[in-house]
Chain A
Amino acid sequence: MSWEKELEEIARRRELALQMGGTQKVARQHAAGKLSVRERIDQLLDPGSFREVGTLAGAARYEGPELVEFVPANQVAGRGTISGRPVAVVGDDFTVRGGAADASIYEKLLYPERLAHDLRMPIVRLVDGTGGGGSVRTLESMGFTYVPALPGWHILDGNLSRVPVIGLALGSVAGLGAARVAASHYSLMVSDTAQIFAAGPPVVAHTGQTVTKEELGGSQLHARNGTVDDEVGSEHAAFERVRSFLSYLPRSVWELPARSPSDDDPQRQEAFLISTVPRDERKVYATRPILGAIADRGSFFEIGRLWGRSTICGLARFNGVACAVLASDPYHYGGAWTRASSEKLTRMVDLAETFHLPIVHLVDVPGFQVGVDAERAATIRAGVRAMAAIERSTVPWCTILVRKCFGVAGAANRPSGRLSMRYAWPSGSWGSLPIAGGLEAAYRAELDAAPDPRAKRAEIEARLNAVTSPLRSAERFSVEEIIDPRDTRRVICEFADLAVHALTPGPSRQGYRP
């Protein structure tokens, strides 16, 4: 006697599961410009690597002993590989009840999270569904209400301190769906087809606000306010970004990032670096070409391009060593720390600390953003939080003082309590206060007493400027080395070579907060 009959039944049910919500619903998903959950998983993972768990889970209807209808649970879960390394994956199936949680099986949703948690592998969430509560219709079927709880949320939260967590918004996601995207180390949304909100337009209409879902929670808003890290133009592009992001990180906090072979000369010099910073300090320059020039060719991977824009954050390799990169962008408030840029910087430093990435910081910081807007935004609160992240970090740190470095935000160019490697460019300019801003206050009496205050001011300014040469700072070891900007790649690659030996695998002292 064999078990052929049972195997045939399993095959039949598997076939039903693969149909998801049915031909019509899948066609509607495609018409909305979205892939089905199974297409998404196929595109994300290495070909043929998906190992599904819970294929047969779903809602079955029987007549007598006969299965007459089967609707698969609306999460597809399992594991596979990306670039040969294992990842857990879970995707909402919008074609089954719009991805609503009341058509899901909660244990199945948690399984991939536990898999990532216990077997220490990254997890990718493909979110395309509504909240955890589903619909108020469930009240009638349940016959009672419950105090909201998220059983197993401690696993999702714990994963943030254990393994890389990626949240992709691939449709309209609300409530718990929105939380599963945001509770991650790296989140993306697809422009036009994805929206994120606590609650959608019909609920918001009750507050008197009539908005489209795109106006309420599109990437025009959320890729620019830091709800997600970045927007992408297509789901395919999102999966590409996931693959790239994971390539810089270890499987879990108990391992170190893999060092890649690099054929890019660590001594490579780019001639433009010597003239890229304008001599006129009122003029700006572009930072991204500098990052492209100093990192291993093609390795700079920016995160959060559209929000907190006065600080550029990302990952890059230097002589094959994966590092976190922070860099000022003078096109935005002259590189000053804003509330948003402080939050972005905090997030990046915490990521580096969690996954053992040395930090490279290119500084052109005139201070915190000043003015009414900055005060209204509670900039200093976010600023000191960023400073706390920097101060508490333990990964090796390298600072390049590109130009301005002023005030409290400037002082946070590196952690104060431990060694960092630091190099200044000849364009370096620093102090507690810029001369132009502080002169009137400091020399008020002298200026008031002068017969020609303008001439007096010019005289004082010339006197002060005479002592601002970075060489005078170097005399006092206030700055350790002043380098030819063209040697920046070399000094950072040397730092990276040293840093890999000073990384300690394991959980960081404080858990990661999203």
Chain B
Amino acid sequence: MKRLRSPLSGTLRIYLVKVGDLVQPDTEVAVIDSMKMEIPVLAEYAGRVSALLADPAAMIDEGQPLVELES
């Protein structure tokens, strides 16, 4: 099991994946509002989404887990 972490702090605008989706490296999994921009979070690993770990509109810290993947 692997976790995709936010590479930056900001506000979680939206998830672009749902539980059960397959992601590949560089799949956009979420969008974070930061530095007045909409910044996509790219998957670092491949896997199937088993859980979304943050609430939309939540403040996100750098390094905070956003998505749990089953490999």
Contacts and interface: CB of A to CB of B under 8 A. Distances in A.
25 contacts: A281-B37, A282-B36, A282-B37, A283-B37, A283-B38, A284-B37, A284-B38, A284-B39, A330-B37, A330-B39, A331-B7, A331-B39, A331-B40, A332-B8, A333-B34, A334-B34, A334-B36, A334-B37, A336-B35, A366-B35, A366-B36, A369-B35, A373-B9, A373-B62, A437-B36
Interface in B1-59: 7-9, 34-40, 42
Give the size category of A's interface with B: 10 to 19
B36 A333 contact: no
Instruction: From B37, B40, B42, name the one whose CB has the most chain A CB atoms within 10 angstroms.
Output: B37
A434 interface: yes
Contacts, number: 42
B35 A370 contact: yes
A371 interface: yes
Contacts of A369: 35
A412 to B, nearest CB: 17
A436 interface: yes
B70 interface: no
Instruction: From A331, A436, A437, name the one whose CB has the most chain B CB atoms within 10 angstroms.
Output: A331
A309 B63 CA distance: 13
Nearest 7 pairs of A and B residues by beta carbon: A334-B35, A334-B37, A282-B37, A282-B38, A373-B9, A333-B35, A333-B8
Interface in A417-440: 434, 436-437
B52 to A, nearest CB: 20
Interface of B: 7-9, 34-40, 42, 61-62
A18 to B, nearest CB: 41
Interface of A: 281-284, 309, 330-334, 336, 366, 369-371, 373, 434, 436-437
Nearest to A281: B37
A436 B36 CA distance: 9
A296 B8 CA distance: 32
Contacts of A334: 34-37, 39
A371 B32 CA distance: 15
Contacts of B8: 332-333
Nearest to A334: B35
A309 B7 contact: yes
Nearest to A377: B62
Contacts of B7: 309, 331-332
Contacts of A309: 7
B67 to A, nearest CB: 16
Contacts of A330: 37, 39
